[in-house]
Amino acid sequence: MAMHPFTAVAQFLTTISLAIVGVAHAAPTITVPVRVHIVRDLVMPKEGLAMQSWVTEQQVRDVIVPEVNRIWRAADIAFRLDAVGPTSTRTPADFRERIDAVVTARRDIDGESDPERIRHLGELIGFASPDGGTVDVYLVPYLGEASQGNTKRSLRRVFVAQWTDKASKGRRAPERFQLNEPGAFVRGSLSRTVAHELGHVLGLRHPDKRDTVDGLLMGGRFPGYALTADELAKARRKAAKLASRQDDDVD
């Protein structure tokens, strides 16, 4: 995605303003537990590729979680990795049909992803039992055309694709999504997508592309890594519920 000429400046100004807010409130850090599940046994064929999970447990510990916490530092929210490892998969009688349904899923004319792909994917994964305020992140091979992540907020369940064709809007074959992106937003990264989807778990939504500050983690015309003051406050309220294991899915 090409950088808008004013995006870098907007990101810088937003970061400075949020830093000032952070110094002013000096709030205690809220810690939210997460478990990361790597879905290793699914092979998703598309355009001559055989997409499988490639992210390692060490990369989750050393790259993804630290980057997620760097992004969320402005909110004084830290995600504590309670567990990481492979998760089981299921093989229903229509296993191949469900894989095909995920791989061939496309966005509609309004740019919305096909929700059915998540239902099909859900039939192929052995989900972990819910655990209080813990968030479960599932790293899957692929999530359909131009898709990188999905969140089931009421279940505290996040899906993130390790292969993506979002940058080309599905016009080119999927490729391995980079783990991290140093500096300003250009294409994003797997770590940023995890941070974005965790924002949905914390009650945040996509901003209106017609009227928004550029350079935001939750999207907008030109996405980035920053959070608005309102998003910081809302996320902290939700994180506090999760941390106290009293989450009731209330915004």
pLDDT averaged per 10 residues, the chain (length 251): 46 46 65 97 96 98 98 97 96 96 89 90 94 95 96 96 94 96 93 98 92 89 94 97 74 49
pLDDT at 5: 45
pLDDT in tens, 81-128: 999 999 999 999 999 999 999 999 998 877 788 889 999 999 999 999
pLDDT at 20: 42
How many C-beta neighbours within 10 Å does residue 195 have? 24
- Both tokens assigned to 214: 């550029």
In order, the DSSP letters of the chain are -PPPTTHHHHHHHHHHHHHHHHHHH-PPPEEEEEEEEE--S--EEETTEEE-----HHHIIIIIHHHHHHHHGGGTEEEEEEEEEE--B---TTHHHHHHHHHT----TTS---THHHHHHHTTB-PPPP-TT-EEEEEES--STT--EEEEGGGTEEEEESEE-TTTTTSS--EEPPS---SS-SS--HHHHHHHHHHHHTT--PPPTTS--SSBTTBSSS--SB--HHHHHHHHHHHHHHHTT------
pLDDT at 245: 81
Instruction: Please give the CATH architecture assigned to the domain spanning 7-24+36-243.
Output: 3-Layer(aba) Sandwich (3.40)
How many C-beta neighbours within 10 Å does residue 205 have? 13
- Both tokens assigned to 38: 């790597």
pLDDT at 80: 97
Q: Is the pTM of this model over 0.75?
A: yes
CA separation for the pair 243, 86 (Å, rounded)? 25
